Structure 1
């Protein structure tokens, strides 16, 4: 695996929270956080240079057919998941345990579009009788932070596009490991670029992201209503980092 090393800062020290970060990503059977299932997962740890210092990957048998559209994204077929995957309940318990250990150690966990991964993990936990993580903290969501500090940049905000913007190499997009590691390195790149204005602690950044995400959802709701994509009485859910 290639090593990404951030460029040194000229004027400002990076926030302390960026020195060691946990990373988390799921690949799933679909995009409905309440109904879809985990197929693969990654939880890891990056040091200040973005080097992987701890990593664990899982493949689960989700117990349902994996739609061909989902397989086209992450490459895992139903047959492979049944042959190589472990029981979903075991995987979910271990993923949740790995995340709890990071939070208990005070290590922030980076998750790109965090409400998707943490919400889906919560509903999977409930489905399998596993105590869910209902208040993950501290979490760093590069999507929310990037939108806040570079609000008017044109173009998509998918992980591959944002990684390229911050000169982070993303090899094998839509692989849980590749996406998690790239998201962590994007968070560290953002910490460098906006070191002078970012909150100095992970807890403060977590709290600020709650309001930033809510404001971003409200702004997007207004735009979607204006172009007829949403009815005037509808609104996007801005809950963060879990729904």
Structure 2
């Protein structure tokens, strides 16, 4: 570690039940703790999230319900986690937007403090974004070898966008050459998604909520235990397809 440290720095990563920092749960936590004197320690736990792990999440990280069945709940690790994260700064990749918010919510559930206002954050993804900006100007220079002189003029921008696409197709052999295949390349289809927005998806054959506080709960379960939540969806800005599915289950 080439960074100059004034207090311990914990680089960490989470594997979770999904991508919602405020409602999904940890299934794996790995960390390397660097100390100002040059020492480091490594830590890793597989965690029972206390809820089913969606197949889509298991397909990404390989952790299934069977694998966590006999593993500790996060609350069982309170002492170890308190020691690991006490008085430290935090680092990782995309930790600012995902891992730290999710960790803070999980810690609140088990009664552990995580003062994110006092923690300094080292985020390798943020450095990447600063040093390798993903703007049209940067893409035009990379794929076309030219400077975009009229950025933010609408016609100049769309002409540049076409040239960037042509440059990408020339550089990457696996970029498709038909609109349909290119759409699927950019926006892979989730075979378990029920609607285009992904608000509902099938989990083990049951149609489930895929957002918010009831993520992972089946419509059938909610129709019995929290029908008011489904009624709220019916009155809110959701697609007709989603609302039709809710009406069917509420009959």
TM bucket, shorter chain:
0.3 to 0.5
Given the two structures, how large is their TM-score scaled by the length of structure 2? 0.46
Larger Rg: 2
Q: 1 or 2 for the larger relative contact order (CA 8 Å, sep ≥6)?
A: 1
Given the two structures, how large is their TM-score scaled by the length of structure 1? 0.47
